[in-house]
Amino acid sequence: MSLRNILSERVSQAMQAAGIPAECQPHVAPSKNANFGDYQANGAMGAAKAMKSNPRAIAQSIVEHLSIDDIASKVEIAGPGFINIHLHNSWLGEKAQALTANQGSDDANTTKTIVVDYSGPNLAKEMHVGHLRSTIIGDAVVRTMEYLGYNVNRQNHVGDWGTQFGMLIAHLESEMAKGENPALALKDLEVFYQQAKVRFDKEPDFANTAREYVVKLQGGDEKMLALWQQFRDISLMHSQEIYQHLNVSLNESHVRGESAYNDDLATLVKELQTQKLAVTDNGAQVVFLEELANKDGEPSPVIVQKADGGYLYATTDLAGLRYRANTLNAQRILYFIDARQSLHMQQVFITARKAGFVDENVSLEHHPFGTMMGSDGKPFKTRTGGTVKLAALVTEACERALAVVKEKNPALDAQELQAIADKIGVGAVKYADLCKTRTNDYIFNWETMLSFEGNTGPYLQYAYTRIRSILRKAEGNKLNGPIVIEAEQEKALAIKLLQFHDCAEQVAAEALPHLMCTYLYDLASLFMTFYEACPILKEGVSEEAKNSRLCLSVRVSEVLEAGLGLLGIEVMERM
């Protein structure tokens, strides 16, 4: 349920009854300050403007028409025309008790299809830290949308086509000719790529074979395709292992890479030519976009076919966009790609719109993100300056987490320790990334992300286990309420719980998972405050209060579990 929607509806009805034009919004939001009630409706100001009237008088009239006694204990007008709403404790108690955070949405959003493009590693190489942000931010947003009932189509636009594959399959072929098992040869993709590159640069015969193989491959030669397929399968398996380890919801069925659009590219370029969008420039086919002209007024060039006939990244993305809008029938298409590709995305979006590949009412959204930095303030690298492989990063996270949990729980057996450490390590890496405003660069720091204090993954996982441990101690007690709100800490906690759905809606609308992190951190902090102020299992606490507080605690644990789940982070009973 959405607290904001319930209140917005009531205020909207009152506005209508008061004769305010339907396009005027109620503007309901949580109050920043408890003195101004729990929620505020600030729509009177806008309505007054539209109606050229006095905002306080409008607010007065809205309040007169407001039927909200079952929800609110007090409604008052403040300042120029703010309507402050104080919620009923009894209503909050009922709603909190009825909250089913683990069940997803009760709203019917299923008619809307959303395509989300994320991760998209280049299969020629090993996945590296550069893919981390796209992968985990995209996954968090996808999980949130699915939770809300949207029909989400994950698209993993992997780089599985292009000239470097000529070199790679030529090298794979000669390794296999030497009797090497392909899976073993490709065990370390980075090494394999470097070996192929060295040969390409040093051995003219090999370089010629590589070039010949690209042409053959792109011409559909079966032998080449078989080699390529083998390479691709093994590389995809590497990515899949990382997704699994990272608890990312992508699987093989979501892969639709550059190669999938190969057959469409010639037609696509022809269409752009027919529409006079693409013109010949130095032998290449180029779309010039006035919309993105530089400060000298020169249009931005988008090359869709090189002079040698080859196609480019933009061509494939145009084909992909068309497929998503028309075949997948998406109403929203989201891309989680590094901010450094912003120009590319704009070029693709504008070209696609001009060419009519995408309907006007389809929302095209590039959600960029900043770079992961090392403590030196430069892009995150290994100690020797190399790119950090994603697999190595995840392994290190889990090892570091293991050391921390071992110290805290020397008595746990090795298997359980490892399972806990994996969840903490992965959770720490993900949370540290997700809790930052997406568009900013951020500094990667092992110590802070693995800390059990502050706004971190381990802190939230720990908050969950603490509640679970309280609940275990309460065995034999009633855990299903009723919830009776008396103390202000109980009220604050109940309101926070009831904002979970609104937070998820906002994450889905703006593609900003850090809002969920902030929400969960606030929730955990409010729980700690509540727990200190409102004893549960202490002697002298009435049965009614105990049951109520236990039920409230159950709800907090459920929302923490569900919310972390939306971020792709798992919880555990103890840690």
By CB under 6 A, name the binding residues for ligand ARG. Answer: 117, 120, 122, 157, 159, 317, 320, 335, 337
Q: How far is the CB of 346 from ligand ARG (least distance, A)?
A: 13
Nearer to ligand ARG, 318 or 536 (CB): 318
Q: How far is the CB of 337 from ligand ARG (least distance, A)?
A: 5
Question: What kind and span of H or E run contains 170?
Answer: helix 164-177
Nearer to ligand ARG, 304 or 498 (CB): 304
Nearer to ligand ARG, 317 or 490 (CB): 317
Nearer to ligand ARG, 314 or 520 (CB): 314
Count of CA atoms in the C-beta half-sphere (13 A) of 305: 21
Q: How far is the CB of 7 from ligand ARG (least distance, A)?
A: 39
Q: 89-98 and 543-566 helices cross at what angle (nearest 10)?
A: 60
- Cβ atoms of 78 and 44 within 8 Å: the answer is no
Nearer to ligand ARG, 288 or 313 (CB): 313
Q: Which stretches of 406-529 are assigned E, i.e. beta strand?
A: 442-443
- Cβ atoms of 201 and 161 within 8 Å: the answer is no
Tracing tokens 């370089």 back to the chain, one arrives at 207
Nearest partner of 162 among 218, 231, 212, judged by Cα = 218
Q: How far is the CB of 542 from ligand ARG (least distance, A)?
A: 58
Q: How far is the CB of 335 from ligand ARG (least distance, A)?
A: 6
Distance CA 25, CA 27 (A): 6
Q: How far is the CB of 123 from ligand ARG (least distance, A)?
A: 9
Nearer to ligand ARG, 114 or 559 (CB): 114
Q: How far is the CB of 130 from ligand ARG (least distance, A)?
A: 7
Q: How far is the CB of 433 from ligand ARG (least distance, A)?
A: 17
Q: How far is the CB of 395 from ligand ARG (least distance, A)?
A: 22
Q: How far is the CB of 251 from ligand ARG (least distance, A)?
A: 18
- Please state, as a whole number, how many other Cβ atoms lie within 10 Å of the Cβ of residue 288: 16
Nearer to ligand ARG, 37 or 166 (CB): 166
- Cβ atoms of 455 and 435 within 8 Å: the answer is yes
Nearer to ligand ARG, 226 or 343 (CB): 343
* Pairing relationship of beta strands 278-281 and 151-155 according to DSSP bridges: unpaired
- Please state, as a whole number, how many other Cβ atoms lie within 10 Å of the Cβ of residue 80: 13
User: How far is residue 239 from each of residues 156, 234, 250, 334, measured CA to CA in Å?
Assistant: 11, 9, 10, 21
Q: How far is the CB of 266 from ligand ARG (least distance, A)?
A: 20
* Pairing relationship of beta strands 151-155 and 113-117 according to DSSP bridges: parallel
Q: How far is the CB of 247 from ligand ARG (least distance, A)?
A: 21
Question: What kind and span of H or E run contains 127?
Answer: none
Six token digits for residue 539: 């002697």
Nearer to ligand ARG, 157 or 555 (CB): 157
Nearer to ligand ARG, 389 or 466 (CB): 389
Tracing tokens 């209140």 back to the chain, one arrives at 7
Q: Which residues contact 323 (CB under 8 A, 6 or more apart)?
A: 256, 261, 264
The 8 Å CB, 24+ separation contacts for 41-49 are 41/7, 41/11, 41/82, 41/83, 41/85, 42/81, 42/82, 42/83, 43/11, 43/15, 44/81, 44/82, 44/83, 45/80, 45/81, 47/15, 47/20, 47/21, 48/81
Nearer to ligand ARG, 320 or 458 (CB): 320
- Cβ atoms of 9 and 39 within 8 Å: the answer is no
CB-nearest residue to ligand ARG: 120
Nearer to ligand ARG, 340 or 473 (CB): 340
